[in-house]
């Protein structure tokens, strides 16, 4: 009697993983489309239907990525600030960990300036769209306020990695100084309005933050 081939086991885990990756890829497409349109057309000039068309997906996929236009803008902000869609807090990323491990305060400030510059390079245009939207939508206005607070808390954590005896100002004032000078408003003024290169901005930010918050060798 001929042997029957054993039936292949049904790999439910792999199927779930593929489905999850497809969902993530669709979400990435929606957020990329939303980012493009919010920056190019502004918040008022962008509709959820526009985003669906740009992404090449059904409206249902857009609403899965964000429950509303305000929510979708917030998801875009979070994505561009982080730089990816991995569920890792900004302060727990390797770039921030490296600042904590660096023993030299001057080098720490250089690393902080580079981190701020790279974050603004990818996120400042979206931050500008967020501010425009905040004037039109109360939900976005609340999101903006929360975003500014989160950024301040992140800067406080990072500046807290510099030894206190290397700071020329009280730590709280150093935090406020880095938060203000490294803002998207300052970035856009210099990079867009004044036409500075990314490298010039980063080098200026390094010098300015060093001058403002680090104690000189002679005290």
Q: Is the pLDDT of residue 218 over 70?
A: no
Q: Which of 88-92, 93-97, 116-120, 145-149 comes out lowest in average pLDDT?
A: 88-92
Can you give the pLDDT at residue 6?
54
Burial track 86-107 (b if 16+ CB lie within 10 A, e otherwise) = eeeebeeeeebeebeebeebee
Can you give the pLDDT at residue 17?
76
* Cβ(145)–Cβ(195) below 8 Å: no
How do residues 51-80 score in pLDDT, each as one tens digit? 999 999 999 999 999 999 999 999 999 999
Can you give the pLDDT at residue 5?
57
Residue with tokens 């999101």: 143
How do residues 11-67 score in pLDDT, each as one tens digit? 777 777 787 788 899 999 999 999 999 999 999 999 999 999 999 999 999 999 999
Can you give the pLDDT at residue 87?
82
How do residues 148-183 score in pLDDT, each as one tens digit? 999 999 999 999 999 999 999 999 999 999 999 999
C-alpha span between 67 and 80 (Å, rounded): 19
Q: What mean pLDDT is reported for the chain?
A: 92
Which residues, in sequence order, are bridge partners of residue 22?
none
**Nearest C-alpha neighbor of 73 from the set 125, 119, 151:** 125
28, 30, 36, 42 alpha-carbon torsion, rounded to 10°: -140
Please give the average per-residue pLDDT across 77-103, as a whole number: 91
- What crossing angle do the helices spanning 105-134 and 94-101 adopt, rounded to 10°? 150
Structure tokens, 152: 């301040």
All structural domains of the chain, each given as residue ranges with its CATH number in brackets, are 11-66 (1.10.10.60), 70-213 (1.10.357)
């Amino acid at each position: 009697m001929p042997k029957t081939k054993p039936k292949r086991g049904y790999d439910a885990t792999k199927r779930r993983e593929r489905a999850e990756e497809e969902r993530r890829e669709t979400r990435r497409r929606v957020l990329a489309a939303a980012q493009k349109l919010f920056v190019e057309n502004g918040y008022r000039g962008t509709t959820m239907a526009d985003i669906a068309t740009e992404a090449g997906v059904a409206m249902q996929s857009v609403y899965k990525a964000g429950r509303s236009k305000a929510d979708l803008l917030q998801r875009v902000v979070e994505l561009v600030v982080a730089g990816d869609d991995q569920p890792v807090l900004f302060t727990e990323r390797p770039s921030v960990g490296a600042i904590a491990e660096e023993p030299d305060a001057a080098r720490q400030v250089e690393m902080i300036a580079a981190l701020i510059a790279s974050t603004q390079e990818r996120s400042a245009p979206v931050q500008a769209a967020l501010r425009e939207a905040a004037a039109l939508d109360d939900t976005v206005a609340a999101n903006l306020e929360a975003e500014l607070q989160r950024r301040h808390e992140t800067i406080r954590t990072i500046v807290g990695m510099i030894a206190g005896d290397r700071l020329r100002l009280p730590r709280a004032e150093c935090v406020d100084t880095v938060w203000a000078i490294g803002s998207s408003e300052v970035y856009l003024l210099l990079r867009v309005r004044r036409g500075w290169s990314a490298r010039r901005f980063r080098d200026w930010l390094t010098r300015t933050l060093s001058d403002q918050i680090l104690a000189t060798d002679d005290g």
